[in-house]
Structure 1
Amino acid sequence: MARVNWTSRIGFILAAAGSAIGLGAIWKFPYTAGTNGGAVFFLIFLIFTVLVGLPVLLAEFYIGRKTGKNAIDALKELSRHNGAWVWIGRTGVVGCFVLLSFYSVVGGWVLAYFVHALSGSLNAHTDFPKLFEQTISNPYQAIVYQAIFMLITIWVVQKGVSEGIEKANRYLMPALFVMFIILAIRSMTLPNAMAGITFLLKPDFSAVTANTLLTALGQAFFALSLGVSTMATYAAYLDRQTDLFRSANSIMWMNMAVSLLAGLVIFPAVFAFGLKPDAGPGLIFIVLPAVFQQMPMGTWLFALFMVLVTFATLTSAFSMLETVIAATIHEQQDRRRKYTWLIGLVIFVVGIPSALSFGVMSETKIVGKTIFDLWDFLITSLIMPICALATTVFIGYVQNRQQVWAHMREGSRLPEKVVQIWYIALRYIAPIAILLVFANTLGLINFK
């Protein structure tokens, strides 16, 4: 991979935050929280993010910046071509491939709702649940919008993404925050909004189940784009003067802020409009349009908001495709255009069954799950945590401690104690947390 550095630390943070935030915070967090107890899920998600997600994020930063190479080549170099550890990178790249195949489906939904706003389909009299069902179940619309989303992603990545993404993030990510704050304020002033705020911020520990723990851990990895090599790929573009700890901390809290704002937009509105918080993946597409209709110029504001959400969605998609392409072309940039189009189109084809999972293929089940839900479960609940666990072992136990510490201190003015705390968390807290959740899931122990 060509060594092309970010132009500034803030540019990297915004680009990495754009990769991490995406639909993980805006789309996935509200409905996973809604189906897993609300506030107690948010609390467990926060704990997992700080104690497990942040240490693993820094470990991925180490892999990328230390070598300046794509995930697979980086692990080859660090492991001295030990095939067992290289599989962390290979599995992560495959995970990115599969993740983008169904992520692009939801990206297509976002594009469809932007068109709905412009076409006048959204107004105070719209049956929003019915509109969402029609949008995702129509095979023509589902595939066409998925294709458009993938074409945009391919077009940008084949040109090289660092320059365009970094510049765009400087304006659009702050705009997304501003829009979310406006929406949250409006949502919290709706009738019966306090019930939604209570649902999000007052934990009910009786709602904790094994599935809550597993889902919260998976969300922590999904929200930070961990376990699929994207952060290692982005970190390969960093110079040695960048403070990895401050950057990772900024990315994590920006992600948590967006997750919280998304919850404050969604759940007060859910209770205000008499909807159920466990409505599932369609929650943001059913509730948000209704919230906007309560605001002056709501339809146009919703269209603008969907533009910003589209951008946040695309920046995540860029990083996923870039991870696969970087691992495919290695440092041969003359192959980028050809392989980006080829691999991008294959990802689109693989994603078609996911696009049809809410319509003509809704009855097609594998182990009781639709294709969309199966991919989601395999990536967020299995591949991401497993690769993250392997990363903690590789960096925490296999790599030379002094070399790891020395590299992590490059560009950082933080005291060495911070590095030590991170290293302890990586060696003990992160792997133990992951193993306990898996043991509970497999029935070896019971947290209930």
Structure 2
Amino acid sequence: MKTPASWSSKIGFILSAAGSAIGLGAIWKFPYTAGTNGGAVFFLLFLLFTILIAMPVQLAEFYIGRKSGKNAIDSFKTLAPGTLWPWIGRLGVFACFILLSFYSVVGGWVLNYVVHAFTGAIHTGADFKELFNATIASPWGSIAYQGLFMLMTIWVVKSGISDGIEKANRYLMPALFILFLLLAIRSLTLPNAMAGVTFLLKPDLSEVTSQTMLTALGQAFFALSIGVSTMITYAAYLDREHDLFRSGNSIMWMNLLVSLLAGLVIFPAVFAFGFQPSEGPGLIFVVLPAVFMHMPFGTLLFAVFMLLVVFATLTSAFSMLETVIAAIIREDESKRTSRTWVIGIAIFIVGIPSALSFGVLSDMTFFGKTLFDLWDFMITALIMPFSALAVSIFVGWVQQRATVLEHMREGSDVPQAIILLWLNTLRWLAPLAILLVFANTLGWI
């Protein structure tokens, strides 16, 4: 019998894990990163690195979670008692807490833009750069929308796995795919849209550089949500009949599909109306409103697009908060509601300085970075690759090889040769690739 602390179905887990991975990384970060790194070449490298390196690490996190059946911290205590490995779990929980504190700020911006679209602030002739700067600089507006985003996240997570997270993702993820598909079709019918398709899908291999390769590798890690223990937490609620390989494969391709659809929504429209694909992080908030204003029913279509971003941002937020809550309640579901409110409010409070980093606290810097940028660098550039490296070493080398192979065969009809290939990739290729990303991030190469 399934309980509120377990997945009620295989598809529920797949949709929720995919929702965790498909967030701002696929819809916001992928398009602007591809736009500034050669388009199709970047997408090709991102595709290869996701399949060959990021997915094996994600499967390793699945192993840790399902094998132990515990939260991110206790899973390492169960699999490696009396060692320092639980600190990797603690690092993941800490990362989720901090990550959600500033991720909710961006989620608040997205919610604010939905309101902008429906209240007339998004219109032909508007100065979208000025609107974006005013939106992120407004102290009360930033805090209010950040709080609303956290309230929505808390409301879902407090209801548990099957009644909260899984139920929400059953509606949000299909809606996201359907709306994205409709927007992509509309974008592809614009004049000169094929120039955008060519930019995204016709690689010029002469543009491959070491920097492009390393950026694509980092995006692959970010896109599958590895290195912050969310996949460990979600996999802990799985039974032994669940096929980890097929689930991992489904989650990976869903993520790649959304990244592709994001590119097919954005780049054809950008080229159709004479904008530059290399606009950077402001692509969604500054360039896209101007693009949509060139379309019939542009304001409505832009509102739909931002609703998509809200859906994707929320599904990732659920997994971050759940990772922290699971580690605190330690399987005592009677504590879930109260602890979710307490922790959610604490994350909101910690995130307030990040929300103010673009306005009243913009002059407060640490190592030349605002608090928002400092947290972002610490999580995505330091903790995520370090934790991913630790997971690959833990499963690939610390755990008994026979134990790992036996567990990964449970519930799976994947050929033994594929499982062996996965383990060898985890042991050799993944650590080397992660070390390269880590070194590049720190400026060592």
TM-score, structure 2 as length reference: 0.93
Query: Following the alignment from structure 1 to structure 2, what is the Cα–Cα distance between the partners of residues 338 and 51?
Result: 41
Aligned residue number for residue 268 of structure 1: 268
Cα separation, partners in 2 of 1:174 and 1:338, compared to 1, 3 Å: closer
Is 1:138 paired with 2:138? yes
| Range that drifts further, 55-64 or 109-118 | 109-118
Match of 1:432 in 2: 432
Q: 1:442 to 1:17 in 2, by over 3 A?
A: closer
Q: State the match for 1:243 in structure 2.
A: 243
7 and 337 in structure 1: CA distance in 2 versus 1, 3 angstrom threshold: closer
Match of 1:52 in 2: 53
Q: Report if the CA contact (8 A) 2:142-2:355 is conserved.
A: yes
Looking at structure 1, the residues matched to 429 and 93 of structure 2 have their Cα atoms a distance apart, in angstroms, of 26
CA distance in 1, matches of 2:214, 2:101: 23
Cα distance in 2 between the residues matched to 1:342 and 1:169: 23
State the partner residue of 2:6: 5
Amino acid at match of 1:56: V
- Sequence identity (%): 70
More displaced stretch, 434-443 vs 216-225: 434-443
What is the CA–CA distance in structure 2 between the aligned matches of 1:393 and 1:157, rounded to whole Å? 31
Gaps of 5+ in 2: none
In structure 1, the partner of 2:313 is: 313
Contact 1:17–1:251 under 8 Å retained in 2: yes
Moved more, 342-351 or 20-29: 342-351
Report the Cα distance in structure 1 between the residues aligned to 2:144 and 2:207, rounded to whole angstroms. 40
Deviations 1:375-397 (A, max 9, x none): 22221222111100110100000
- The 1:424–1:3 alpha-carbon spacing in structure 2 relative to 1, beyond 3 Å, is farther
Aligned mates of 1:383, 1:61 — CA distance in 2: 19
Number of aligned residues: 443
Q: Write the distance in 1 (CA, Å) between the matches of 2:43 and 2:270.
A: 17
Alignment of 1:207-286 (within 5 A): 211-286=211-286
* Aligned mates of 1:3, 1:157 — CA distance in 2: 11
- CA pair 417-208 structure 1, distance change in 2 beyond 3 A: same
Tell me which residue corresponds to 2:420.
Answer: 420
Which residue in the other structure is 2:31 paired with? 30
Segments of 5+ residues of structure 1 without an aligned counterpart are none
In structure 2, what is the equivalent of residue 148 of structure 1?
148
- 1:225 aligned counterpart, secondary structure: coil
Give the 5 Å matches for 1:121-136: 121-136=121-136
Q: Quote the offset at 1:291 in angstroms.
A: 4.1
Deviation at 1:76, TM superposition (A): 0.6
1:361-400 alignment, distance < 5 Å? 361-400=361-400
Q: Could you tell me how far apart the structure 2 residues matched to 1:221 and 1:376 are?
A: 15
Contact 1:157/1:340 (8 A) holds in 2: yes
Matches of 1:300 and 1:40 in 2, distance apart?
33
Over the residues paired in the alignment, what is the CA RMSD in angstroms? 2.2
Structure 2 CA distance for aligned equivalents of residues 275 and 356 of structure 1: 30
Question: What is the deviation of 1:428?
Answer: 0.8
1:319, 1:229 → 2: CA distance? 9
Give 1:352 deviation, angstroms: 1.8
Instruction: Give the letter for the 2:165 counterpart.
Output: I
| Residues 332-353 of structure 1: per-residue CA shift (max 9 Å, x gap) | 2232223222221221122222
In structure 2, the residue matched to 1:110 is 110
**Alpha carbons 1:292, 1:301 under 8 Å: kept:** yes
Q: Can you list the C-alpha shifts for 1:147-189, whole angstroms capped at 9, x where unaligned? A: 1101111222222243233233233322211221222222233
Kept in 1, the 8 Å contact 2:273–2:294? The answer is: no
Q: Deviations over 1:49-81 (max 9, x none)?
A: 111110011000011111111010001110113
Q: C-alpha separation between the residues in 2 aligned to 1:112 and 1:161? A: 28
Q: TM-score, normalised by structure 1?
A: 0.92
Which residue of structure 2 aligns with residue 19 of structure 1? 20
Question: What is the correspondence of 1:314-333 to structure 2 with a 5 Å cutoff?
Answer: 314-333=314-333
Aligned letter for 1:155?
W
Distance in 1, Cα, partners of 2:250 & 2:37: 27
Question: What does residue 164 of structure 2 align with?
Answer: 164
1:316–1:437 distance in 2 versus 1, CA, 3 Å: closer
Report what 2:75 is aligned to. 74
Kept in 1, the 8 Å contact 2:157–2:165? The answer is no
Structure 1 stretch displaced more, 302-311 or 230-239: 302-311
C-alpha deviation, 1:135, in angstroms: 1.3
The residue identity in structure 2 corresponding to 1:143 is I
- Please state whether the residue corresponding to 1:281 is helix, strand or coil: helix
Which secondary structure does the structure 1 equivalent of 2:331 belong to?
coil
Does structure 2 retain, via aligned residues, the 8 Å contact 1:215–1:381?
A: no
Task: Look up the equivalent residue of 1:190 and give its one-letter code.
Answer: L
Provide the secondary structure at the position in 2 that maps to 1:282: helix
Mean CA deviation greater in 421-430 or 264-273: 264-273
Q: How many Å separate the matches in 2 of 1:48 and 1:353?
A: 35
- What secondary structure does 2:75 align onto? helix
Helix, strand or coil for the counterpart of 1:221? Answer: helix
Name the stretch that deviates more: 187-196 or 366-375.
Answer: 187-196
Post-superposition offset of 1:367 = 2.5
Aligned equivalents of 1:22, 1:441: Cα separation in 2:
22
Q: Which amino acid aligns with 1:124?
A: T
Amino acid at match of 2:40: A
Q: Offset of 1:25 from its aligned partner?
A: 0.5
The answer as to whether partners of 1:3 and 1:68 remain within 8 angstroms in 2 is no
Q: Distance in 1 between matches of 2:253 and 2:227?
A: 19
CA–CA separation in structure 2 for the residues paired with 1:442 and 1:104:
26
User: Is the CA contact (8 Å cut-off) linking 2:6 and 2:161 kept in structure 1?
Assistant: no
* Pairwise CA distance, 1:417: 1.1
Gap change, CA 1:29 and 1:208, over 3 Å in 2 = same
Amino acid at match of 2:276: K
